[in-house]
């Protein structure tokens, strides 16, 4: 599973763990998480930690009751969507789509 969600009981926050599997990382040296939650800042993506199995992970606290568009930026050059996203929407820039997580 590429997205896992842990809702907090004491706050309107969900801890979402984003995982880019080894097969999709395709030997990447670094992977960044970019989306509405960081204002699509490609220069400062959320760094994803390389795991021993070749996948990459990052956990982000997101406000509940919202949907967030996001994508993975592989080696600063290639965009990847999450194959387990809750939905997909057009980017509005090209024929590409963004992944969506709903919390």
* Cα gap 68→85, rounded to integer Å: 10
Report the length, in residues, of the chain. 103
- SS3 category, 23: helix
Going along the chain from its start, the domains and CATH numbers come out as 3-102 (2.60.40.10)
Q: What is the pLDDT of residues 58-91, one digit of tens each?
A: 999 999 999 999 999 999 999 999 999 999 999 9
Mean pLDDT of 1-8: 89
Whether the Cβ atoms of residue 37 and residue 68 lie closer than 8 Å to each other: yes
User: What are the residues whose beta carbons fall under 8 Å from the beta carbon of 71, sequence distance 6 or more?
Assistant: 34, 35, 79, 80, 81, 82, 98, 99
Give pTM, 2 decimals: 0.94
């Amino acid at each position: 599973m590429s997205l896992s969600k842990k809702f907090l009981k004491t706050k309107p926050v969900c801890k979402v763990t984003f995982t880019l599997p080894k097969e999709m990382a395709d030997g990447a040296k670094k992977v960044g998480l970019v989306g509405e939650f960081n204002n699509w800042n490609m220069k400062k993506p959320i760094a994803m930690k390389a795991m021993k199995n070749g996948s990459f992970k990052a956990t982000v606290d997101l406000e509940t009751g919202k949907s967030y568009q996001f994508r993975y930026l592989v080696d600063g050059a290639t965009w990847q969507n999450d194959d387990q996203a809750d939905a997909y929407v057009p980017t509005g820039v090209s024929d590409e789509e963004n992944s969506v997580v709903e919390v």
